[in-house]
Amino acid sequence: MGVVGAGLIAQVMHLHYLRELADRYEVVVLCDIAPGSAAASAERFGVPKFVTDWREMLREPLDAILVLTAGSHAPMAIEAARLGIHVLVEKPMCFSTVEGAAMVGAAEGAGVTLMVAYNKRYDPAYRRFVDEAAGLDDPRLLRVTTLESPFQPYVAHYPLAPAASPDPETAALLRTQVDASITSAIGEADSFLRWAYHAVLLDTLVHELNAIRGLLGEPDRLDYVDLRPGSVSVMLRFGNLPVALHWIDLPGIASYKMEFAMYAPARRITLSFPSPFLRNEPTILEIESGESGTARSSLSREITSYESGFKNELLAFHDAIVKGTPPPTTGADAVRDIALCQAIIECHRTGRPVDHPTRMP
């Protein structure tokens, strides 16, 4: 395994769990454009070699790579696939459906696995929620609410390497590449829409969008979008079931919350995710029920497991390569999330609904 990117999520989660899974993975090279970050993480996690150019990394004899960088992962994924190397990328996989389709085509053409690291899909409590939701009689609404909070208090207790930056020329080149990718996805747009697409939809809400699709399949319609600097509201329709998605930025409260709640006349189920920066913190499933015509009601609160979705997705990636077991979050699946993010921008701009918003062009 080669790992590209030695930033926060690499140090807090991925490198930690790769070390736990040493019976399955051997990390032989670590790449980061900031030499200090690459060197510090390589030393801490016992990686024998570090480089600052992913192209140099791909010259190593690798079975697979894990891409954890900011920006589009398309160039690395496409070149790795061409070399017969399996690819696991963090979200977002890329910035546009054009890039995503190229990534999927490269992987399919080379016969390698392309998987996207949506950790919530691999949380045992999420799978329980999916099972419970399937048993609901006449569901009326799915509500998904994320209360965003500062992440620094959630990572201060980890022994992290000091933040390092690339040289100014490299940083400027990366910004230019990101700007070009965003323009190819949503066209010419003002700074607010570019920020909303990149920082909110792709970097944050893509997790929620993928988890909704994992639960319900593909939406029939994107009915409504409201984008503001501190909040996002999206209304989707899956058959007769409305889905309300809300993201609210609350920077003054260090208390992250994300809830999936589905309501039916006789049963309510709620899934509450902890901060994604906490290892092995359980996701909580609550089930409410009652007896029609009486005052009787009940509430159960369940801890399904202390397993980490981050660790489970690494296990699923290994199984995909070694056993040929298709993972739930393939590259082809994840491109539809990018399509949905692009459709959200379109709906906001035009004020008109978008039918089949995850349909590929």
Same structural domain for residues 93 and 134? no
Q: Do residues 104 and 180 share a domain?
A: no
Q: Can you give the CATH number for the domain in which 161 is found?
A: 3.30.360.10
Average pLDDT over residues 3-15: 96
Share of the chain above pLDDT 70, in %: 100
Measured CA distances, 58 to 1, 115, 181, 238 (Å): 10, 18, 23, 42
Any domain includes 207: yes
Global pTM exceeds 0.85: yes
Which pLDDT value is given to residue 168? Answer: 87
Residue linked to tokens 């960088």 = 69
Tell me, yes or no, whether 290 and 324 share the same domain.
Answer: no
Residue 285 to residue 79: CA distance in whole angstroms: 41
Task: Tell me, yes or no, whether 134 lies in a domain.
Answer: yes
Q: Are strands 29-31 and 2-4 parallel, antiparallel or unpaired?
A: parallel
For 234-267, what is each residue's pLDDT tens digit? 999 999 999 999 999 999 999 999 999 999 999 9
Token digits for 16? Answer: 């930690």
- Strand order across the 86-90 sheet: 50-51, 29-31, 2-4, 64-67, 86-90, 114-117
Domains in the chain: how many in total? 2
- On the question of pLDDT at 212 being above 90, the answer is yes
Examine residue 281 and state whether it is found in any structural domain, yes or no.
yes
Helix, strand, coil percentages (3-state) for the chain, rounded to 5, are: 40, 25, 35
Do 254 and 322 fall within a single domain?
no
Provide the residue range defining the domain that includes 69.
2-117+314-330
Kindly state whether residue 360 falls inside one of the protein's structural domains. no
Please indicate, yes or no, if residue 342 is contained in any of the structural domains.
yes
Q: What is the pLDDT of residue 112?
A: 98
Residue 58 corresponds to which tokens in the numbers above? Answer: 């791909």
> For position 169, what pLDDT does the model report?
87
- Position 237 in a domain: yes
pLDDT of residue 234: 98
Q: pLDDT over 90 for what percent of the chain? A: 92
pLDDT per residue as tens digits for the range 145-155: 999 999 999 99
142 and 56 in a common domain: no
- 318 and 237 belong to one structural domain: no
Question: Residue 174: what pLDDT?
Answer: 86
Using one digit for the tens of pLDDT, what is the confidence trace for 81-92?
A: 999 999 999 999
**pLDDT confidence of residue 165:** 79
User: pLDDT tens for residues 286-307?
Assistant: 999 998 889 999 999 999 999 9
- 325 and 343 share a domain? no
- Judgement on whether residues 40 and 91 belong to the same structural domain of the protein: yes
The rounded distance, in Å, linking the Cα atoms of 297 and 275 is 30
Residue 101 is assigned to a structural domain of this protein:
yes
134 lies in the same domain as 56: no
Which neighbouring-strand residues pair with 137? none
Q: Are residues 273 and 345 in the same domain?
A: yes
CATH number of the domain where residue 64 is located: 3.40.50.720
Average pLDDT score over residue span 296-325: 97
> Is 167 a residue whose pLDDT tops 90?
no
- Over the chain, what is the mean pLDDT? 96
Q: pLDDT tens-digit profile of 30-63?
A: 999 999 999 999 999 999 999 999 999 999 999 9
Residue 282 lies in a domain: yes
At 166 the pLDDT is: 81
Does residue 164 carry a pLDDT above 80? no
The 10 Å CB-count burial string (b at 16+, else e) for 257-294 is bbbbbbbbeebbbbbbbbbbbeeeebbbbebeeeeeee
Same structural domain for residues 341 and 319?
Answer: no
Residue 95 has pLDDT above 90, yes or no: yes
3 state DSSP class of 356? coil
Residues 91 and 127 in one domain: no
